[in-house]
């Protein structure tokens, strides 16, 4: 497997920082597959699969899904992919998940390329999440169960407690670079690109 063709980008940042939007654009422009464990899990919930029924109460409560479930989902998604060209959005969220992901990527010969961290002030994040729910409702779409202020604040707290060590983990491996996540989508995207190697 040609390592230079592999590319593994891990988007970090709190809920509502714009990781999904930016990851989507980067994926399209650089021929990467965007892997959002949140999207995969929400799809299972929407389809009412066994996994969906198992994780729905966890998601509704704003808690994090167990690592073994997430790693199994990712292993399944990466199986047979060559080269491995992916963007992770919203995963890993803990050091334990990062270590498990590193083991999996090592097996595939595709180590992490970069880990951009989108930084946005807390109140801006809460406002974005609530507005996302309001806009979905206005369009007549299903509103995500976590798009309300109370759950958003709880998720920010969970993020702070559980994800700071992860930021330190990727910084220690030389993968991390911070990106100001406030500004137009194009401005933020240019900042992300400038840090990618």
19 among known catalytic residues: yes
- Mean model confidence pLDDT for the chain: 88
Q: Which residue has the higher pLDDT, 191 or 129?
A: 191
Number of domains in the chain: 1
- Residue 192 domain-assigned (yes or no): no
Per-residue model confidence as pLDDT tens digits over 90-109: 788 789 899 999 999 999 89
Whether residue 97 is contained in a domain is answered as yes
Q: 92 a known binding residue?
A: yes
Distance CA 194, CA 28 (A): 17
Torsion, Cα 17 100 7 44, to 10 degrees, reads -60
Q: Supply the pLDDT for residue 85.
A: 96
Annotation marks residue 132 as catalytic: yes
pLDDT category at 197 given cuts 50, 70, 90 is: low
Mean pLDDT of 23-45: 90
What is the span of the domain harbouring residue 82?
A: 3-184
Residue 7 belongs to domain with CATH number: 3.40.50.300
The label of the residue with tokens 């406030």 reads 182
The pTM for the full model equals 0.77
Annotated catalytic residue within 25, 34, 93, 191: 93
**Does the annotation flag 153 for ligand binding?**
no
Does a structural domain hold residue 20?
yes
82 in any annotated domain: yes
């Amino acid at each position: 497997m040609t390592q230079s063709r592999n590319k593994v980008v891990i988007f970090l940042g709190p809920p509502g920082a714009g990781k999904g939007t930016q990851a989507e654009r980067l994926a399209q422009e650089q021929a990467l597959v965007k892997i959002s464990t949140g999207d995969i899990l929400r799809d299972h919930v929407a389809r009412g699969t066994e996994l969906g029924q198992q994780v729905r109460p966890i998601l509704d409560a704003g808690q994090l899904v167990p690592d073994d479930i997430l790693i199994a989902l990712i292993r399944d998604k990466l199986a047979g992919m060559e080269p491995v060209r992916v963007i992770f959005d919203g995963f890993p969220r803990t050091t334990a998940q990062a270590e498990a992901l590193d083991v999996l990527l090592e097996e595939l010969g595709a180590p992490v390329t970069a880990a951009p961290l989108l930084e946005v002030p807390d109140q801006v994040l809460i406002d974005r999440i609530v507005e996302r729910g309001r806009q979905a409702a206005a369009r007549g779409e299903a509103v995500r169960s976590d798009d309300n202020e109370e759950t958003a604040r709880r998720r920010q707290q969970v993020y702070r407690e559980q994800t700071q060590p992860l930021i330190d983990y990727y910084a220690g491996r030389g993968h991390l670079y911070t990106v100001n996540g406030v500004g137009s989508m194009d401005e933020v995207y240019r900042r992300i690109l400038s840090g990618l190697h």
